[in-house]
Chain A
Amino acid sequence: MTTMHSPALEVAVRPRRRMPKATLLIGLVLLLVLIVAAIFPQYLARYSPTDFDYEAILQGPNAKHIFGTDNFGRDILSRIIYGTRVDMQIAIFTTLFPFIFGTLLGALTGYLGKWSDAVVGRIADLVVVFPFLVLVIAIVAVLGPGLNNMYIAVSAVGWVSYWRLTRGEVLTQKKAEYAQAGRVLGYSPSRILLRHLLPNAVSPAIVYLMTDMSLGILLGASLGYLGLGAQPPTPEWGVMVADGKNFMATAWWISTFPGLALTLAGVTFSLIGDGLADALRPRA
């Protein structure tokens, strides 16, 4: 970014508060931890995530298994560590396409308005009112179960939120002084759109993206609960929580620790989201 027209940049170079940086920093450190676990699980985990151990079934937390074992004698901690990769994948692939596609489309139709906006609006309505599970089952039934097909189903639906958020923001920003000024200065529409409107309008979408990553993982868990998400023996946190459902009274550790992992990931995303929101907040 070279232009000084970007308010986002102005905020970044003119920090008013100290705390937001800390928020973002903690978030990024946690994210780094998750990334390391996702890339190098074999160096961090003591046991295989999939091998049964008939001698260690349903053991509570102990020196050998800090987070205990499940009903197949698998080490919960090792499964959580190996699960990081799967869940980070889910977080990214359930949101990446919807974010890019939805945001660009939102900026475009918000700026162009008229029929383009109306057409996309009607499609969005259709997607929103359509029962999501019917779509998931249709895709899974045709392509087979598994994470990839879940991504397709989620992407087909998820873009709508980003489209709405960005479009609404562009509609408001369009009338802002700097956009009017850009028009007066004779900037091309694409320059106004990409250089000025989009950077300003994208911040709600980015903040929502971070929430959406948590929601994406949760959706993976719900579909896993219905057997349509990650397939066994793949360790996935949401599925692990679901697997512990019948042991909550006798072996609380099976679902509690993966639940904590889910929460940790959620906190990470929300810290980054809030940090980014602070950094991106336009100072008009």
Chain B
Amino acid sequence: MHSSYVIRRLLQIIPLFLAVMVVVFVLIHFIPGDPVSAILGDRATTENVARANRELGLDKPLIVQFGFFVNQVLHGNLGESINLKVPVLRLMLDRLPVTLFLDVYASVLGVVMAVPLAILAAVRRNTWVDSLIRAVFQVGLSLPGFYVALQLLTLLGARLGWFPIGGYGVTFGDHIYHMFLPALTLGLNLAAILVRTLRNSVIEVLTAEYVDFARAKGLRSRVIMTRHVLRNALIATVTLLGLNVGGLIGGAVITETVFAIPGVGKLMIDAIFGRDYPVIQGLTLVFAVLVSLVFLATDLIHARLDPRAELS
């Protein structure tokens, strides 16, 4: 249907990919600190550091290193982790599914919590129901993730024993069970953002003239609800999810740390603090492609839901 549009958008990922490659390479090499002394630490002598740098090719001019990096990527090779001594691709294949699972799970929980409650709050706006819903989610928006995570873990995990403390299990059922609390932590934050925006957008629809008109025409409120309100709510939800997905993929660091989930968030932060250049570069490139694809997907869904939107 929109195949030429999709192809054009996919082609746009290429320059983005190149730009990300340049920017991340330049930036991480300009940050003080290098992987070798970061890992060799206190005891290493200058000669130790120099030798390790030579072995890793980090003593070469930056431009040469960049050429090497680009050449590698073009051959589908993301290099090898300096600190963990395993191929970046393997690390990623190990960990990315875990994070994606967590993100999807969190998004589902967030939407399931937010959409009905936001509509309820909008319909009953400025009543105690509305105030209660907004107040509860405001707490989710105001407290730091690690605090919410620890409280959930202590209460639902340790005190009540309903959920295991950390880990992510083996089977699919295990994952659902083990990752409920971390997904809830992320989902609450997402739901808080969703509720605030959705509530406003639903009120906007409810007070809009075409709804008054529909009501005047004698359409049942159920029909108005599904035809106008829900669709608009969905459009806003998809847009917001799209905006937040970048944050979700890279931002699950603290949640992953608290719940001991071996995902890419933790991998990325360890790599940044350890200056593990190949891992940072590889992860950034994969994030870039993923986030671009999600943006494309949200735009397509948006177009499907909202006849006014144009794909350009």
Give the contacting residue for A137; candidates B146, B203, B272; CB below 8 A: B272
Q: Is A218 an interface residue (CB 8 A)?
A: yes
CB contact list, B125-150 vs A, under 8 A: 125-126, 134-135, 138-139, 141-147, 150
Q: By DSSP majority rule, is chain A's interface helix, strand, loop, or mixed?
A: helix
> Provided the pairs A129-B20, A161-B243, A242-B146 are in contact, do residues A266 and B138 lie with their beta carbons within 8 angstroms?
yes
Residue numbers in A under 8 Å from B123 (CB-CB): none
Complex Cα distance, B146 from A217, in Å, reads 14
Residue numbers in B under 8 Å from A248 (CB-CB): 150, 154
Please state if A131 and B272 are interface contacts (CB–CB under 8 Å).
yes
On chain A, the number of residues with a Cβ less than 8 Å from chain B's Cβ atoms is 54
Q: Is A65 an interface residue (CB 8 A)?
A: no
Give 12 A-B pairs besides A131-B268, A274-B200 with Cβ atoms closer than 8 angstroms.
Answer: A122-B12, A131-B272, A133-B268, A134-B31, A138-B31, A207-B197, A217-B142, A241-B143, A242-B144, A248-B150, A248-B154, A284-B209
Please state if A126 and B204 are interface contacts (CB–CB under 8 Å).
no
Please state if B31 and A17 are interface contacts (CB–CB under 8 Å).
no
Report the number of A-B residue pairs with Cβ-Cβ less than 8 Å.
144
On chain B, the number of residues with a Cβ less than 8 Å from chain A's Cβ atoms is 57
Minimum C-beta distance from B309 to chain A (A) = 9
Minimum C-beta distance from B237 to chain A (A) = 15
Q: Is B16 an interface residue (CB 8 A)?
A: yes
Tell me the A residues contacting B by CB distance below 8 Å.
17, 19-20, 23, 122, 125-126, 128-135, 137-138, 141-142, 161, 164, 168, 172, 207-208, 211, 214-215, 217-218, 221-222, 225, 238, 241-242, 245, 248-249, 255, 259, 262-263, 265-267, 270, 273-274, 277-278, 281, 283-284
Complex Cα distance, B269 from A129, in Å, reads 16
Please state if A138 and B147 are interface contacts (CB–CB under 8 Å).
no
Please state if A263 and B138 are interface contacts (CB–CB under 8 Å).
yes
Minimum C-beta distance from B89 to chain A (A) = 18
Please state if A211 and B15 are interface contacts (CB–CB under 8 Å).
no
**Which residue of the partner chain B has the closest CB to A172?**
B308
Residue numbers in A under 8 Å from B150 (CB-CB): 245, 248
**Which residue of the partner chain A has the closest CB to B258?**
A245
CB contact list, B37-87 vs A, under 8 A: none
Residue numbers in B under 8 Å from A278 (CB-CB): 203
Give the contacting residue for B250; candidates A131, A141, A241, A245; CB below 8 A: A131
